Structure 1
Amino acid sequence: MRTVQRAVVARPQLVSSLVRGRPLAPRRSHPRPFSQQFGPASNIPGADQDEEEPSKPSKSGPEPKSRLGPTFSRAFEAAMTTFASIAVLGLAGYSYHVYYKSLVLRKIEKAFEPGDPMLELASPAEPHVAPREQPADDTEHWIARPEQAKINTIINGESKGRYYLLIGEKGTGKSSMLLEAMKEKNGEGVSMFEAHADLEIFRIRLGKALNYEYHEDYIGSLFSIRGPRDTTALLDIERAFNKLEKVALAHRNRMGKPGRKGPLILIVNSAHLIRDNEDGNDLIELMQQRAEQWAAANLITMVFNSDDFWVYERLRRYATRMEVIPILDLPKTRAIAALERYRARYFPEQKRDPEILKQVYDLVGGRLNFLNRVAKSSDMLKMCRQINEAEKTWFLNQCGILGEEMDDDVMDQQKYASAAMVLAKALVEREKDMESSYDDEHGHILPQIPLYIARQIMTRADFIQSYDHENIFTIDSRAMVRADSVPMMNAFKEICAEPGFNDYLEATLDRISAIESINRTKELTFKDLWIEQKGEQRGKYSFVTKDARGRETGTIEMRVHPDKPPEEDDD
């Protein structure tokens, strides 16, 4: 832009007045017309002008100078400034985007470094055990299960090309074995999280396990109209698996270098908590597809841990590289050894009686959860009786029958309860037909029925899955149905042995059949059939029957017969 400089000429009167020190008299100004102040060629206030121009230029004088050149110059300068600003902003945004994507991958890699939140949560000491009572080597296994060696090879990355499903009843020690295997390498290369029925919570837990924020911390989202979470939880889980796959590929390329050998491990604990509905099935299908692909490429080994049979049923449909590891109760010898070690840990000063340990096993079986609870109690036999009573109460609360006097409003619940009672009675009768239900070496041998026969006994095919989820009955990997535990089987036998149980169950079943018969019976009532003609009650309805082609096949008539007078007695 041009800078207009004006020459200031000092007037002689102003100079002489300033020199003499006298004030200068104000000069009167006479305003001029607007046309004289701003003529066609004069400069408007605010505009640039090199020198004063005459107020009224001659019409025959030269034309005013064109301003297109300065306009184009200013427009080009503004355009270049805008382009440079956009270029700098775009370069900064792209650089941040590249940096953020690399940061996400580094954060996911950090999730598989030594140390895992699940290990930290499982590490606190028992509050009721004094430090002096802790054994010297607290890292050793309390009980060496035969499945522990297999799980160690999986978690250490030595077993490749497969993905695994751990299935067994609640309290058999599945999660504990996984945590024990993770402790050997301090969780290096392993990430574990708990499943949940809500997909949003499942998404958050997966993100926490993978150290992935689903781009919710992306600064670019502040300038966008649609947020980064404007999607479904299932799509976010797919995005997390995509990022995890990139990390696994980079990890496989570094396998030749010193460090961990084998694929990464992702453990989904408590997979049975996922709902068996459309959303839950979509989630399981998504995870299984990833597990199949990663197992084939030796990228990631997925491990599913479930208490319920339906997860195995759902995965088995499309499984080609899945291996099932059943986790059962301990046999008698191992259970007594585990109980003895538990007892020595909590009460080292007490002497352990082998006969009492055997009685404990006879009452609660080889379930590690029950053995641990019994070992913590001062009176072990009393705790065993409490466990048996609790299992019986649970079964009656869930599946108690109401007998012949039940109301028809509880029809659906009583169908569910009576079917469980029928199946429990069938298991008790099956145990009576067995040659032996107890072995001196193995211990308890619970009676079991194939799944399809159990459905025939109940006359229902949909209840058994709910029983498995409620820990009343269990279905193993061979599709065999039995009581969920030894205390539950003891509850079945006590209930079926009560006086009048068979009659009470039969009355309940008859009442259910009667209500169903009433609901299936339809009553047809005809009105205006009684027409009195000539002193007699007459009336008739005619029905025409037709075949599938619409041809008449016959006629049905319904008439009203007049009432007969009562017969007089001979007397």
Structure 2
Amino acid sequence: MIASRYAWRSPATLILRNRNWNIRRLPRLVTRSISSTDPSRYPLQSAQDTAQGSAKDVDPPPPPPKQDAGPSLRSKMLEAAATSFASIIILGAGFGIAGYAYHKTYKYLVLKKMIKAFEPGDPVLVLAAMGKDVAPSDSTPATHWVRRPEQEIVDDIVAGRDSGHYHLILGEKGTGKSSMLLEAMRKVDGEGVAMFEAHADLEIFRIRLGKALNYEFHEDYIGAYFSERGPRDTTALLDIERALNKLEKVALKRRTTVGRPLVLIINQMHLIRDDEDGKDLIELLQQRAEQWAAANLVTMVFNSDNYWVYERLKQMATRMQVLSVVDLPKSQAIAALKKYRERYFRETPSSAILEEVYDRVGGRLAFLNRVAKSNDMLATCDDILEVEKTWFLNQCWILGPEMDDDVMDQQKWAAAAFVLATALVDKEAEMDKTYDPELGHVLPSVALHEAQQIMTRADFVRAFDRLNLFNITSAARVRAASVPMHRALREIVREPGFREHLQGTIDRIADIESLGRTRELVAKDLVLGGKYEIRPGKGKTGGLDVVLREKEN
């Protein structure tokens, strides 16, 4: 009955419709159903199924072998730990190699950038050329340029031909020191030379040094992001030391290739403050200058207007050479004024006008250039004289015997300035000549120690030098800051009643100091009519004995 019921269905249909049947009985059932049907319909299938069914009936297949249990928890933890440790080692090694490669590459790029700072061309030359309307690399000298006698020495220093020393260029403001350095740089197109301006603030000094050397002080170093304290978290003085260390490496490479030392020019050294920070900076720069001069690596050039810089450098100077720059002599000053006038107005002034201009302003290039640019040169000379006179009076005019005691300290300083001015004017009368036909003006001067003795103070004269009231030369001689300033001092001192006014001020200062040192004692018994008897003391120390006598009725 079962065979007749499922005879027309296939074995797959039987499996799908009878899921609850025993799977072992299914082949036998299928065989029976097929055998009960017509064998001619499924000849091949019937034979195969019959053979399979008989084989299963005889020997059923053995059950599959049981698989072993999975890995234990401990082995899994060890495998995960080993994988993590290997990953950390690979990542750490990768970051370490990458960081080391970046660090080495950064240091190489720093030196390469600094080498470019000494290649031909310099921003200082570009700015100077813009002011003179000439090309920065033009090798022909300008028609208005005045060649000073010191120009050849400066050319040898900047070109690297004068080695083994470092130099201090000292002179008054406006004598042409910076112009000579720029002219020497222009002749070599700035190759192997770097120049920058000094400043009182050490941070600004650091920035200007870095700009001149093309050095960033590790401010662009990415490694600082991965540390608690970056390389820049330090003082400006240490940054300057780092920059000089890099410069030394560049100079060592250059000596093997070029054979000439680098030149580092620091202009306006007098702007550095005369305090502890300024002294530390000057000491640092001088130590490097001494070492590099001995090894012919770098020639450092200091340019200053004030004498105190020379005094500071003189204390430890071994290889320093001082170049003093003064006003032009008469012949060169007149030639310079003539060239200036031809350039600005296309005219040639008469010799009488040129002589008169020199007599009034002397050979200071700054004054000559200013006069040459004006329409009325003699009127401009008078303006310069008035400006110098006003500057001196505003800085140190004396107030006379009626001054208040609160201004005594300032009046000491002012009176000392006029005492020195009076001494210089009086010394002019004692000189054999104050004007030379070839050299021009011969200003009266006194030695530095004599000036301190005249003022009875040793600390004022350097302050006068900073204010351009007086000038201290490299030979330690004190004189007026310029020819117009000396003419102004002469006019002030020769005014009627000036010496009496100065003496009254000095007396008033002495009186105030005397009052400050005097103590007044008041005895009440004397005020009330009592009497004291003063007699020599009888003790071993001597002295006076004061005995109160009774009041007589």
Q: TM-score range by the shorter chain?
A: 0.7 to 0.9
* Residue among 185, 189, 213 paired with 2:188: 185
> What pairs with 1:216-231 in structure 2 (closer than 5 Å)?
216-231=219-234
* Residue among 499, 503, 507 paired with 1:502: 499
- Distance of aligned partners of 1:230 and 1:525 in 2 relative to their CA distance in 1, 3 Å threshold: farther
> What pairs with 1:48-197 in structure 2 (closer than 5 Å)?
66-125=72-131, 139=142, 142-197=145-200
Give 1:144 shift.
1.4
- Distance of aligned partners of 1:502 and 1:538 in 2 relative to their CA distance in 1, 3 Å threshold: closer
- Distance of aligned partners of 1:64 and 1:244 in 2 relative to their CA distance in 1, 3 Å threshold: closer
Give 1:540 shift.
11
Question: What is the one-letter code of the residue matched to 2:512?
Answer: I
Q: Could you tell me which residue of structure 1 aligns to residue 240 of structure 2?
A: 237
Are 1:364 and 2:367 matched, yes or no? no
Alpha carbons 2:143, 2:339 under 8 Å: kept: no
Q: Could you tell me which residue of structure 2 aligns to residue 476 of structure 1?
A: 473
- If the length of structure 2 is used for normalisation, what is the TM-score? 0.83
- Distance of aligned partners of 1:563 and 1:379 in 2 relative to their CA distance in 1, 3 Å threshold: farther
Deviation per residue, 1:371-409 (Å, 9 max, x gap):
000000000000000000100000000010100001111
- Distance of aligned partners of 1:149 and 1:85 in 2 relative to their CA distance in 1, 3 Å threshold: same
Aligned length: 490
For residues 405 and 538 of structure 2, the distance between their equivalents in structure 1, rounded to whole angstroms, comes to 37
- Distance of aligned partners of 1:488 and 1:79 in 2 relative to their CA distance in 1, 3 Å threshold: same
Alpha carbons 1:166, 1:326 under 8 Å: kept: yes
Between 327-336 and 514-523, the greater mean CA deviation after superposition: 514-523
For residues 289 and 407 of structure 2, the distance between their equivalents in structure 1, rounded to whole angstroms, comes to 44
Give 1:121 shift.
1.6
**SS state of the match for residue 270, structure 2?**
helix
For residues 273 and 465 of structure 2, the distance between their equivalents in structure 1, rounded to whole angstroms, comes to 14
Alpha carbons 1:531, 1:538 under 8 Å: kept: no
Are 1:413 and 2:419 matched, yes or no? no
Give 1:123 shift.
1.6
Alpha carbons 2:255, 2:261 under 8 Å: kept: yes
Alpha carbons 2:531, 2:551 under 8 Å: kept: no
Q: Could you tell me which residue of structure 1 aligns to residue 310 of structure 2?
A: 312
Alpha carbons 2:533, 2:549 under 8 Å: kept: no
Question: What is the one-letter code of the residue matched to 1:105?
Answer: L
- Distance of aligned partners of 1:250 and 1:408 in 2 relative to their CA distance in 1, 3 Å threshold: same
- Distance of aligned partners of 1:531 and 1:295 in 2 relative to their CA distance in 1, 3 Å threshold: closer
For residues 207 and 384 of structure 1, the distance between their equivalents in structure 2, rounded to whole angstroms, comes to 42
Deviation per residue, 1:80-117 (Å, 9 max, x gap):
00111111011111110000001110111111011112
> What pairs with 1:315-464 in structure 2 (closer than 5 Å)?
315-348=313-346, 350-464=347-461
- Distance of aligned partners of 1:15 and 1:266 in 2 relative to their CA distance in 1, 3 Å threshold: farther
Q: Could you tell me which residue of structure 1 aligns to residue 294 of structure 2?
A: 296
* Residue among 182, 200, 205 paired with 1:202: 205
For residues 137 and 298 of structure 1, the distance between their equivalents in structure 2, rounded to whole angstroms, comes to 30
For residues 323 and 71 of structure 2, the distance between their equivalents in structure 1, rounded to whole angstroms, comes to 94
Q: Could you tell me which residue of structure 2 aligns to residue 263 of structure 1?
A: 261
- Distance of aligned partners of 1:137 and 1:245 in 2 relative to their CA distance in 1, 3 Å threshold: closer
Give 1:211 shift.
0.6
- If the length of structure 1 is used for normalisation, what is the TM-score? 0.81
CA RMSD in angstroms comes to 3.0
Alpha carbons 2:194, 2:213 under 8 Å: kept: yes
Question: What is the one-letter code of the residue matched to 2:508?
Answer: R
Alpha carbons 2:139, 2:186 under 8 Å: kept: no
Alpha carbons 1:531, 1:539 under 8 Å: kept: no
Alpha carbons 1:496, 1:502 under 8 Å: kept: yes
For residues 465 and 15 of structure 1, the distance between their equivalents in structure 2, rounded to whole angstroms, comes to 118
Question: Where does the alignment leave 5 or more consecutive residues of structure 2 unmatched?
Answer: 1-14, 21-65
For residues 209 and 352 of structure 1, the distance between their equivalents in structure 2, rounded to whole angstroms, comes to 42
Q: Could you tell me which residue of structure 2 aligns to residue 248 of structure 1?
A: 251
- Distance of aligned partners of 1:163 and 1:140 in 2 relative to their CA distance in 1, 3 Å threshold: farther
For residues 199 and 394 of structure 1, the distance between their equivalents in structure 2, rounded to whole angstroms, comes to 30
Deviation per residue, 1:279-335 (Å, 9 max, x gap):
111111110010000000000000000000011111111111111000000000010
Aligned-pair identity (%): 58
Alpha carbons 2:237, 2:281 under 8 Å: kept: yes
Give 1:229 shift.
2.1
Deviation per residue, 1:390-438 (Å, 9 max, x gap):
0000000001010000111111111111000000000001110001100
Are 1:523 and 2:520 matched, yes or no? yes
Q: Could you tell me which residue of structure 2 aligns to residue 465 of structure 1?
A: 462
Question: Where does the alignment leave 5 or more consecutive residues of structure 1 unmatched?
Answer: 1-10, 17-52, 54-61, 256-260, 547-551, 566-571
More helix by share: 2
Give 1:228 shift.
2.4
Question: What is the one-letter code of the residue matched to 2:77?
Answer: T
- Distance of aligned partners of 1:510 and 1:384 in 2 relative to their CA distance in 1, 3 Å threshold: same
Give 1:227 shift.
2.6
